[in-house]
Structure 1
Amino acid sequence: MSSTFRMRRVALALATAAVLPLALVACSDDSDGEDGASGKKSTAARDDASKDAADDATKSADEPFGPACSSVPKDGAGSFDGMAKDPVATAASHNPALSTLVTAVKKAGLVDTLNNAENITVFAPTNDAFAKIPQKDLDEVLNDKAQLTSILTYHVVGQKLTPEALEDGSFPTLEKSRLRTSGSGESYEVNDSAAVVCGNVRTANANVYIIDSVLMPKK
């Protein structure tokens, strides 16, 4: 074999060795490009899904809950959206299930007090809650402004309470004594005697928890 032929073979081998890594790098870059794009798309999809889940959780946490919420009007001033636009006494007046409470608030002269208060929580007894009180006793309370005021202000806490705050809470009321709350999830009680039947209702100045019994302050 001539020296010229051997030199040509060596040169060809060296050229092949130089080109091969470049080809492999090019293939790797192409593959990474495709996989990278796919990976970025997957990551973006996961991020979007996580954001949607977080948004849904926040939305769910902000929504009213409880069996009596289904009886609230779907639209108009008495709906959840409508009540959120009005201060609490006005908002309650648009809810048919709270008509007895509204009558009591008017008799006690507390409409302006409640409407002008800022960042409060109202535990609002339903008509059925008032119906548990014997009619004679209820009439006496409704006609005794001092006693009525004491009972109604016992249902008001001077801060906005979230559902989480009710899990194991004790709060001073406008009546100057305290009430206790307990529960979790969508099941809460006040003073172990009144159940929240529609909670986390928003008004312009208050969070409202509709309850199934009237609370009585300790004498």
Structure 2
Amino acid sequence: MKLKALLVAGSLVLAALGLTLTNAQGTTQNQTIAQIVATNPNFSTLLSALKAAGLEETLSGPGPFTVFAPTNAAFAKIPKADLDKLLANKQELTKVLTYHVVAGRVPSSQVVNLKEAKTVEGRSITIEVKDGKVILNGNSTVTTVDIQARNGIIHVIDTVLMPK
């Protein structure tokens, strides 16, 4: 009897978690990429950069876009003086940010089969799968995949991609 009660309770917890995850995903699907970035505290540096470059409106547009979105921790890997300099140079900042965007909706199921992807900036990023992880340009790991937005998809990365 005790085992049956535990199984029922466990099932209810799993069902509740499933509903929460589904509802959270449904919430992001109604938002644009820019709105998701604006409401996620892990992307506050990315949001500041998008505003400084004047790209927030673009990522609110129809798309579709695939964005490899660096977290605050990814930006923190850049020395502060270099990051400040980048944020103050709209042309260079735009280059770096558009290097994180691929035209179209590219889910993780497709990303893992690619060797490279051409970015909106014009250059390609390299893609490889090592030990089950997706690595971009040999140094940036995709940590979260397939965050669905109304106008595209976000894959979270742990290192800012710099065009060469």
SS in 1 for 2:144: strand
Match of 2:150 among 192, 197, 204: 204
1:177 aligns with 2:160: no
Of 189-198 and 129-138, more deviation after overlay is shown by: 189-198
CA offsets, 1:87-142, max 9 Å, x none? Answer: 10111111111110011000000011111142210000000000000000000000
**Equivalent-residue separation in structure 1 for 2:161 and 2:80 (angstroms):** 16
> Which residues in structure 2 correspond to 1:113-192 (within 5 Å)?
113-169=58-114, 170-183=116-129, 187-192=133-138
Identity of aligned residues (%): 36
Cα distance change, pair 216–175 in 1 and its aligned pair in 2 (3 A): same
**RMSD of equivalent CA atoms:** 2.0
Q: Which structure is larger by alpha-carbon Rg, 1 or 2? A: 1
Match of 1:214 among 149, 155, 160: 160
Cα distance change, pair 125–157 in 1 and its aligned pair in 2 (3 A): same
1:195 aligns with 2:137: no
Cα distance change, pair 133–115 in 1 and its aligned pair in 2 (3 A): same
SS in 2 for 1:118: coil
More strand by share: 2
- Residue of structure 1 equivalent to 2:28: 83
- The two structures have a TM-score, normalised by structure 1, of 0.61
Q: Please list every run of 5 or more consecutive structure 1 residues that lacks an aligned counterpart in the other structure.
A: 1-73
Letter of the structure 2 residue corresponding to residue 166 of structure 1: V
Question: By how many angstroms is 1:175 displaced?
Answer: 0.4
More helix by share: 1
- The two structures have a TM-score, normalised by structure 2, of 0.81
